[in-house]
Amino acid sequence: MEPKPWRDRIRDEDALLQQLNGLITEAADRRAEALLEGVDELGTIAEVARDLGVSWNAVDKAIRKYERRKADGTTTT
């Protein structure tokens, strides 16, 4: 059996990468929504970060990125 031509393999991998990027964006959106729920519950980004054992910068960045996508209309939810 002949191996698939390289152009076909590249197209297949590009399609897979596009699908995976979509899944990553969906997961990031759900995570940011959960972080926002944590902020509602605990009061501040810093408290959420402390509770999760991560930097407040990481929490803030995830929320801001989500809010930018939401404002642009590119969120998945």
Could you tell me the sign of the dihedral formed by the alpha carbons of 64, 68, 71, 74, in that order? negative
29-73 pLDDT, tens digit per residue, is 999 999 999 999 999 999 999 999 999 999 999 999 999 999 998
DSSP 13-66: HHHHHHHHHHHHHHHHHHHHHHHHHHHHHHSSHHHHHHHHTS-HHHHHHHHHHH
What six digits make up the tokens of 17?
Answer: 């990468």
What six digits make up the tokens of 15?
Answer: 């399609």
Whole-prediction pTM = 0.82
Cβ atoms of 32 and 63 closer than 8 Å:
yes
